[in-house]
Amino acid sequence: MRTSIMIGEVRGPATAADLRDQAAAATGLDGIWAAQALGWDALTALTMAAAQAPDLSLGTAVVPIRQRHPLVLASQALSVQAATGGRLTLGVGTGIGAMTTGMFGLPADHAARYLREYLDILLPLLRGDPVTHSGEFFTLSGTVHLPTDPPEVLVAALSPRLLHLAGSRTAGTVTWMAGPRTLESHVVPRVTAAAGSAGRPAPRIVAALPVCVTNDPGAARDHVAARFGMAAHVPEYRAVLDREHVPGPQDVALIGDEREVTAALGRLAATGITEFAAAPVGTLAEQHRTTELLRSA
């Protein structure tokens, strides 16, 4: 199992200097991931981070697709791929419905059909192929020309339909808040079976979770519950927490001292995931302590 780290606002409010420091501290790990939330653009954050960690892979976990036309996202992703020497993995997802409709005024229904059509357009665009398309959601004609190899694409998925789409059409899946029970019994077997049925290589399965190495686990759980509490109240994350049989994000986070978090990392590795993307949380000292453990794990 590869071990990577998340940078940016998933860890708390982050300045440009914070992003650079977090990326530099990732030396010795396998990769850096950035989420698209309410602040930093994930692809921009990764481009900034790339100079501080020239040997690490980079990935978005994830970019919601409803707000970005596939021609726009293809151009952005290929630009980052070219600027960082071909290190990008483009993680995409259908997004949180309440944010899609409430903030952007966009429809959020028919997620699997929308994603399937989006991939029909995005994947050839990333290869530099011209696309002329008229479908249920998009009508377009265009191409993106950049002298770089296409980035691998991962799909954020939990439902059986989206997991099948991730395994059969892309390099795999990336999850957030999925604990070991859900990964082992639901995510890993479904996406692996879909890739096999499609004749594709074994999929990449990247699992992202909050982590805090601490001597005060109660305070760390309270911090995670407060910071990520929304996840317990929106259908997309309520579903993943229900599969894990836990009430909130604090119950899937990896929290404890070095021995306890190391044991939790071993449990994750046993699920069959290919990469763990850790989001260090807590005080700055706890985040540094967490990063040190991840580096030595």
More confident residue, 46 or 111: 46
Cβ burial 64-79 (10 Å sphere, 16+ → b, else e): bbbebbbbebbbbbbb
Q: How far apart are CA 181 and CA 20, in angstroms?
A: 34
Chain segment 119-136, per-residue pLDDT in tens: 999 999 999 999 999 999
Question: In this model, does residue 102 exceed pLDDT 70?
Answer: no
Looking at the chain, the whole-number percentage of residues with pLDDT higher than 90 is: 85
Kindly indicate the confidence band of residue 100, based on its pLDDT and cuts at 50, 70 and 90. low
Q: What is the band of 199 on the pLDDT scale with cuts at 50, 70, 90?
A: very high
pLDDT for position 115: 96
For 226-284, the pLDDT digits (tens) are 988 777 777 777 888 999 999 999 999 999 999 999 999 999 999 999 999 999 999 99
Average pLDDT, the chain: 93
- Across 15-29, 167-181, 196-210, 230-244, least confident range: 230-244
Kindly indicate the confidence band of residue 103, based on its pLDDT and cuts at 50, 70 and 90: low
59 with 32: CB under 8 angstroms? yes
Q: What is the separation of C-alpha 108 from the centre of its chain, rounded to a whole number of angstroms?
A: 19
Between CA 132 and CA 22 the distance in angstroms is: 41
Distance in Å from the first CA to the final CA of the chain: 11
Distances (CA, A) of 134 to 110, 117, 118, 120, 171: 17, 10, 12, 11, 25
pLDDT at 105: 73
101 pLDDT tier (thresholds 50, 70, 90):
low
Domains of the chain, each with CATH number or no CATH:
158-297 (3.20.20.30)
96 vs 152, higher pLDDT: 152
236-240 LR contacts (CB < 8 Å, sep 24+)? 236/96, 236/97, 236/158, 237/96, 237/176, 237/177, 239/158, 239/159, 240/158, 240/175, 240/176, 240/177, 240/178, 240/182
- Give the burial class of 2: count Cβ atoms within 10 A of its Cβ; 0-12 exposed, 13-18 middle, 19 or more buried: middle
